[in-house]
Amino acid sequence: MSKIDRRKFLKSTATGALGTVAAASALSAPALAQTMPELKWRLTSSFPKSLDTIHGASDVFAKAVAEMTDNRFQVQVFAPGELVPALQAADAVTAGTVEMCHTASYYYWGKDPTFAFGTAVPFGLNVRMQNAWMYEAGGMDLMNTFYAKYNIHGLPGGNTGAQMGGWYRKEINSPDDLKGLKMRIGGFGGAVLQKLGAVPQQISGGDIYPALEKGTIDATEWVGPYDDDKLGFYKVAKYYYYPGWWEGQAMLHFFINKTKWEELPKPYQAIVRSAAHTANTIMLARYDALNAGALKRLAVSGAQLVPFSEAVLDACFKASNEVFDEISGKNADFKKVYEAMKVQRADNYLWFQLAEYTSDTFMMIQQRKKLI
Amino acid sequence: MSKIDRRKFLKSTATGALGTVAAASALSAPALAQTMPELKWRLTSSFPKSLDTIHGASDVFAKAVAEMTDNRFQVQVFAPGELVPALQAADAVTAGTVEMCHTASYYYWGKDPTFAFGTAVPFGLNVRMQNAWMYEAGGMDLMNTFYAKYNIHGLPGGNTGAQMGGWYRKEINSPDDLKGLKMRIGGFGGAVLQKLGAVPQQISGGDIYPALEKGTIDATEWVGPYDDDKLGFYKVAKYYYYPGWWEGQAMLHFFINKTKWEELPKPYQAIVRSAAHTANTIMLARYDALNAGALKRLAVSGAQLVPFSEAVLDACFKASNEVFDEISGKNADFKKVYEAMKVQRADNYLWFQLAEYTSDTFMMIQQRKKLI
């Protein structure tokens, strides 16, 4: 190639290349680069890997985000303690130390009891009602208006379903049996039980078994058959009561630093929202698929399955309403969300009595008759 | 600028531009163009826009896909009849006339009764159990192995929840009252009722009201309060029975042409999966948020809410089991999925009796006492 030819070639190639770049610019490549940039986020979970269904919701979320963006947007999941302690996950999000966390909103009930509505409140909603409220009846907007005070944007991210009432060394036959009961339970449920004379204790997961074994505590709540079975509580406290009236469902959340959320390109916001939906459904489906097997193992191991009497539940319900009213009297945010939840609850428990409840009841009768 | 300078400038710019293009090539632009191409799909829905919660699931899905891809992947939703009739949606997907549809798998029970398990079977699972089975206990894989025979890949895409048992011009007090009953009901439920002496009728949505008014039929099933209220059945058949034992839940599906599904770039597959999750949750949440209000309107309008007696349900349950067994005897696919569903059902109805059921029961008692 002569010098002249080389120049011509260079010239035409340059023009060609630049032309291509320009065309691509207008059409797609830079648009994509702007709206789908390479991004790495850190997510701190409040749940140890041993709680595999709950911790796993973060993995489901992160995997979905990575797959949907061809790995351009990666969310790295950290176990509690790797970056921040379990119960400081929300603070780390507020501060922007991490972009997001997976946590239970009610862990922060000490900052403001309004946080509780994001997860569970005593005698509140069941899973479907909580989803209906959050997604389609204004619940999520109400909570996000509140979370904004902490520079947090929240998205529902998993559910345990209705939890069990925990493990007890002695029977609870009447409300009187709650008096003096030293029980490992926190938050709202603990506040209600305290009203009834119980003594709520804060003990971290790994320390519960020895405390129960030694009799330092009389009872503990945990989650449900699948998680409880792993910790072996039935060996030291055989009465396994239900329901966990303080958690008729327990919704987990992805908390995202609000500034980071607002900076996200719209497609990534949509991807994060949708991945959270996936995690919300999958976590519950896992519990629902796993609990029955664990329940059978526990029954074989000698766990005594006992329902709380209506008298005990009545006393707890009344005490809960007192706590709701007391807090509502001094916290406007709490009152506003509580009033909204009550409307949802009354309406939903009216409707669910018909087709859902009678259908389930008939099938449970067949189950007891061993006909299914 | 001298000629030499111009040449130097061109040369360096050219190199620079080419270098940039090359770098971009390797890193992102062409990769994105390959994995996130511009794409337009057509989705035919089996549901008219008047069924706004069900039809709306397609809109939720299409909107999520568009938002997640910055409009690069667009799914256009067509109402029944715009491209193909409502009940030919799956055929159109099999043939590749459209890339996908939103439909009820059990509409195709006439082709093969195995299709029914994707939506609902008499005395089957409730919503949570169906989700658990589909997503986390092998149900979706089983169904997709079956759907593959029709070149279909299915993804759950919405749920109505437990349906009502429909509208009746006269009371149904015993199984004998089902004899000779001309009822608008199709599929599996119709086959069971036929066994009990009823005469199932196939009538399209718009023709039900006049048929019921004239007495051409004695009863009809539809969905639940929210959809039933719109059609005004209470004016011509005031007994509103529950539960709709043939639909303890009713799951909708997105059916995708399997060849088109497999050709989709992996990120788009992940986006479609996640958007379907969103639609699945949102459709149910909408029904759960809307049904109570409609139920109250119906009660005020004079609808008589009546539970089927245990004797009626027992008779229907026995007849259902006979139909299940008859079909299982001659259809291996059906038998395989039925056996899997039965395991899920027995396990789930064992576990759901404890925390879920007692928690709901207590709250329903409070609702009836007007304490919530």
State the nearest Cα–Cα gap between A85 and chain B, in angstroms.
30
Nearest Cβ partner of B29 from A33, A271, A347? A33
| Cβ contact A11–B13 (<8 Å) | no
State the nearest Cα–Cα gap between B246 and chain A, in angstroms.
10
Nearest Cβ partner of B274 from A278, A346, A367? A278
| Cβ contact B17–A17 (<8 Å) | yes
Assess contact for B259 and B147: CB atoms under 8 A: no
A368 to chain B: closest CA residue? B350
Measured between beta carbons, which residues in chain B are less than 8 angstroms from residue A38? 28
State the nearest Cα–Cα gap between B255 and chain A, in angstroms.
19
| Cβ contact A278–B282 (<8 Å) | no
| Cβ contact A33–B36 (<8 Å) | no
Confidence of residue A128 (pLDDT cuts 50, 70, 90): very high
Q: Please tell me the predicted confidence (pLDDT) of residue B144.
A: 98
Q: What is the mean pLDDT of each run of 10 residues along chain B (372 residues)?
A: 43 37 42 81 96 97 98 97 96 98 97 98 98 98 98 98 98 98 96 98 90 97 96 96 98 98 97 98 98 96 97 98 98 98 97 97 96 96
- Choose from B5, B53, B223, B359 for mutation: most chain A CBs within 10 A: B359
A365 to chain B: closest CA residue? B349
Measured between beta carbons, which residues in chain B are less than 8 angstroms from residue A317? 362, 366, 371
Cα–Cα distance between A236 and A215 in angstroms, integer? 9
Q: Residue A102 burial (CB < 10 Å; 0-12/13-18/19+)? A: buried
Q: Please tell me the predicted confidence (pLDDT) of residue B40.
A: 98
State the nearest Cα–Cα gap between B264 and chain A, in angstroms.
12
Residues A276-303 have pLDDT tens digits of: 999 999 999 999 999 999 999 999 999 9
| Cβ contact A136–B289 (<8 Å) | yes
B123 to chain A: closest CA residue? A363
Q: Please tell me the predicted confidence (pLDDT) of residue B215.
A: 95
Of the given ranges (A10-14, A160-164, B268-272, B322-326), which has the lowest mean pLDDT? A10-14
CATH architecture designation of domain A38-159+249-288: 3-Layer(aba) Sandwich (3.40)
| Cβ contact A132–B305 (<8 Å) | no
Q: Please tell me the predicted confidence (pLDDT) of residue A31.
A: 60
Measured between beta carbons, which residues in chain B are less than 8 angstroms from residue A164? 354-355
Q: Please tell me the predicted confidence (pLDDT) of residue B179.
A: 98
Q: What are the two backbone dihedrals, phi and then psi, of residue B41, each rounded to the nearest 5 degrees?
A: -120, 155
B161 to chain A: closest CA residue? A356
Q: Please tell me the predicted confidence (pLDDT) of residue B204.
A: 82
- Choose from B3, B288, B316, B365 for mutation: most chain A CBs within 10 A: B288
Assess contact for B323 and B194: CB atoms under 8 A: no
| Cβ contact A162–B353 (<8 Å) | no
- Choose from B35, B306, B351 for mutation: most chain A CBs within 10 A: B351
Percent pLDDT > 70 in chain A is 91
Q: Is the dihedral of CA A287, A290, A295, A298 positive or negative?
A: negative
Looking at 3.40.50.300, 3.40.50.1820, 3.40.190.10, 1.10.3720.10, the CATH number of the domain B166-247+292-333 comes to 3.40.190.10
Q: Please tell me the predicted confidence (pLDDT) of residue A28.
A: 47
State the nearest Cα–Cα gap between B217 and chain A, in angstroms.
23
Residues A326-349 have pLDDT tens digits of: 999 999 999 999 999 999 999 999
Q: Where in chain A is the domain with CATH 3.40.190.170?
A: 38-159+249-288
Measured between beta carbons, which residues in chain A are less than 8 angstroms from residue B6? none
Nearest Cβ partner of B357 from A165, A345, A360? A360
Assess contact for B157 and B252: CB atoms under 8 A: yes
B318 to chain A: closest CA residue? A371
A226 to chain B: closest CA residue? B351
Place of tokens 């599906």: B253
Place of tokens 């549809």: B101
Percentages helix, strand, coil for chain A (3-state, rounded to 5) are: 60, 15, 25
| Cβ contact A31–B70 (<8 Å) | yes
pTM of the entire structure? Answer: 0.91
Q: Which of the pair, B9 or A361, is modelled with greater confidence? A: A361
Bridge partners of residue B313, in order along the sequence:
none
Q: What one-character DSSP code corresponds to residue B346?
A: H
Mean of pLDDT values over A247-274: 98
Q: Where in chain B is the domain with CATH 3.40.190.10?
A: 166-247+292-333
* Residue B349, both tokens: 């109805």
| Cβ contact B288–A131 (<8 Å) | yes
| Cβ contact B132–A289 (<8 Å) | yes
Assess contact for A223 and A283: CB atoms under 8 A: no
Nearest Cβ partner of B360 from A126, A265, A372? A126
Place of tokens 């119980």: A198
B345 to chain A: closest CA residue? A372
Q: Please tell me the predicted confidence (pLDDT) of residue A3.
A: 46
Give how far Cα B165 sits from Cα of A336, B244, B316, Å.
Answer: 37, 4, 12
End-to-end CA distance of chain B: 84
Q: Give every strand in the sheet of B199-201, ordered side by side.
A: B199-201, B182-184, B219-220, B166-168, B239-242, B304-307
Nearest by Cα to A247 from A218, A224, A228, A277: A224
Q: What one-character DSSP code corresponds to residue B128?
A: H
Bridge partners of residue B153, in order along the sequence:
B256
* Residue B222, both tokens: 């539809």
By DSSP bridging, strand B182-184 and strand B219-220 are: parallel
Measured between beta carbons, which residues in chain A are less than 8 angstroms from residue B36? 32, 36, 70
* Residue B255, both tokens: 């059916």
Nearest by Cα to B299 from B213, B368, B225: B225
* Residue A2: pLDDT over 70: no
Measured between beta carbons, which residues in chain A are less than 8 angstroms from residue B132? 284-286, 288-289
| Cβ contact B126–A346 (<8 Å) | no
Measured between beta carbons, which residues in chain A are less than 8 angstroms from residue B362? 123, 243, 245, 310, 313, 317
- Choose from A18, A306, A356 for mutation: most chain B CBs within 10 A: A356
